[in-house]
Amino acid sequence: MKPIKIGTRGSKLALYQAYYVANLLAKHDLDTEIVIIDTKGDQILDVAISKIGSKGVFTEELEVQLEKGLIDIAVHSAKDMQSTLPAGFELIAFTEREQTNDVIISHKPEIAINDPEIQTLLGTSSTRRVATLKHFYPHIRTTEIRGNLQTRIAKMESGACDALLLAYAGVHRMGYNHLIKHVLRLDEFTPAVGQGTIAVEAFEGLDAKRRAKITQAVHDPTTGYCLEAERSYLKELDGGCSIPIFALGTYSAEQVTLTGGIVSLDGKERIERQVTGPSQQAETLGKRLAESVLTAGGKEILSKIRQQLAK
């Protein structure tokens, strides 16, 4: 069998993820080749993601290569995946999930987010994190910091901000645990859909046997059920990277509990609901959660957010 060509972005974290998948494939005696591809999200670093288009900003160029057959699979952070994939594309595997919390990292000895008397400037490029901060910690100021993890840390150390608000998974994978000052509570900072897991994307032209071997080697079924529920919720709300939607599925005894909601851009309104059901009905669970959130006032919040982002 020819080596499986793995398409990836070129950042250290993206390459870590690509080699992580390559190692899982190697355990099943499958050879691989890493192919680095630049994306729009990597090229444009001086503009907020919400301003350059939230759908496919980190995935579009990889999907072009998939469709042309120049790569067999593309490896992404699952949280970067748009709610609806283009026709012919499918996520065929999710890796075992890392810890899902958001964390605050800093080069400074102490960062006290609970103390309104202490001025703290947090760097983040996430509307979900900014809106959540405004809701729970309104005294915290934020600034837009984009780029790969190493670039963001360099900006922080040069004085652009006091600390960074990031996903634990990326911080841990890049060996920056020593910079973690706070691990944020999941009941406050419920993560973005897919946070903490790696997604493998394929195009319909991929050979069926090749596809089946990749899924067998990489896919974690427990994570898969949770992601199916989360992504179903995201799809119902049609939320992209610029919409502050959150959801987290947990698996236990063949049941998935899905917690999720939405927060207004100013942080004043936050709706959260929870549903539980059989893991085999994960997609239905996502739809149930979406209906619950929308009828509880989420529809109005979502409409207002879209109007604000369109300005």
The domain 1-95+197-219 is placed in CATH, from the list 1.20.1070.10, 3.40.190.10, 3.30.70.890, 3.40.50.300, at 3.40.190.10
- For the annotated catalytic residues, the residue numbers are 80
Q: Check if the beta carbon of residue 174 is closer than 8 Å to that of residue 16.
A: yes
Q: Check if the beta carbon of residue 144 is closer than 8 Å to that of residue 136.
A: no
**1-95+197-219 and 221-311: identical CATH topology:** no
| Residue 119 confidence (pLDDT) above 60 | yes
User: What's the pLDDT tens digit per position in 275-291?
Assistant: 999 999 999 999 999 99
Continuous H helices in the chain: 12-26, 40-43, 49-52, 60-68, 127-136, 149-157, 168-173, 208-218, 221-237, 282-293, 299-310
Fold of 102-183: D-Maltodextrin-Binding Protein; domain 2 (3.40.190)
Q: Mention every residue, 6+ apart, whose C-beta is less than 8 A from residue 185.
A: 101
| pLDDT score, position 49 | 42
Q: Does domain 221-311 have CATH number 1.10.760.10?
A: no
In this prediction, residues 236-261 reach a mean pLDDT of 93
Question: CA end-to-end span of the chain, whole Å?
Answer: 52
User: What's the pLDDT tens digit per position in 3-31?
Assistant: 999 999 999 999 999 999 999 999 999 99
| pLDDT score, position 284 | 98
User: Any idea where the domains of the chain sit in the sequence?
Assistant: 1-95+197-219, 102-183, 221-311
